[in-house]
A = this chain, B = another copy of it.
């Protein structure tokens, strides 16, 4: 596939150059853009593997641009927003974005998300990303990606809380990758201010514990949602994704 080519769309020039530099340093080819027309010219003039699209674009609206692009193209899109409202996030998903991340963000997390989306795109190149409904399978469990519930291997329906669902999504997006509590918290709280290095208590521990009690056969000896002592948590389950639906 060669070097991944990434389009950075933001109307703030400072943000734009910061992001392009960051991605260049991490081995991407990062191209700046600030409007829908610029995006389109890039798309027609060369290969673009992923678009990082700011939601607030001055006179234009990233969500709508995303919807329009998606109606025509298969290119993966990650929406970026300074708005902390959670519902915006859902709006983004429904419009067809592949992921949604809040500004300011943890650079490492952004990188991880970008890579995750690109890998998915690579695995299922053509049809992917037209329909938004994705179904996740892991260790016999089934998660439809939108409702706050999962189906157990035996067929039972287990209902989750919003937070538990959000955690599950984070885990499903990063299987076999250890996540620190801070990373998880940042991924959960779209309101996440990066300038908040303060300890966030043991909320994540509790959340993990509660999710475990619902989806682990034996919560005392977790098989999927493992603890990495001194580090964080690790989701060890082979995740497969059903596009379509």
Q: Which residues of A contact B (CB under 8 A)?
A: 1-4, 11, 25-28, 36-37, 57-61, 63-64, 67, 85-88, 90-91, 94-95, 115, 119, 162, 176-178, 228-232, 234, 236
Pick the contact of A86 from B67, B90, B228 — CB < 8 Å? B228
- Identify the closest chain B residue to A179 (Cβ): B87
Interface centre among A28, A61, A91, A162 (most CB of B within 10 A): A91
**Measured between alpha carbons, how far is A169 from B144 in the docked complex, in Å?**
30
Taking a contact as CB atoms under 8 Å apart, the answer to whether A67 and B176 are in contact is yes
Contacts of A177 in B (CB 8 A): 63-64, 91
Contacts of A27 in B (CB 8 A): 11, 57-60
- Identify the closest chain B residue to A85 (Cβ): B231
- Identify the closest chain B residue to A114 (Cβ): B59
Taking a contact as CB atoms under 8 Å apart, the answer to whether B11 and A178 are in contact is no
Contacts of A25 in B (CB 8 A): 58
Contact of A236 with B94 at beta-carbon distance under 8 Å, contacts A178-B85, A229-B162 already known? yes
Pick the contact of A2 from B4, B37, B57 — CB < 8 Å? B37
Interface SS of chain A = mixed
Contacts of A11 in B (CB 8 A): 27
Taking a contact as CB atoms under 8 Å apart, the answer to whether A86 and B4 are in contact is no
Taking a contact as CB atoms under 8 Å apart, the answer to whether A1 and B61 are in contact is no
7 closest A-B pairs by CB = A27-B59, A87-B228, A27-B58, A87-B178, A87-B231, A26-B59, A95-B176
Contacts of A95 in B (CB 8 A): 176
Taking a contact as CB atoms under 8 Å apart, the answer to whether B61 and A115 are in contact is yes
Contacts of A64 in B (CB 8 A): 115, 119, 177
- Identify the closest chain B residue to A29 (Cβ): B59
Give 18 CB contacts A-B under 8 Å. Answer: A1-B36, A1-B37, A2-B37, A4-B59, A11-B27, A27-B57, A27-B58, A27-B59, A60-B115, A63-B176, A64-B115, A64-B119, A86-B228, A87-B230, A90-B228, A91-B176, A91-B178, A94-B236
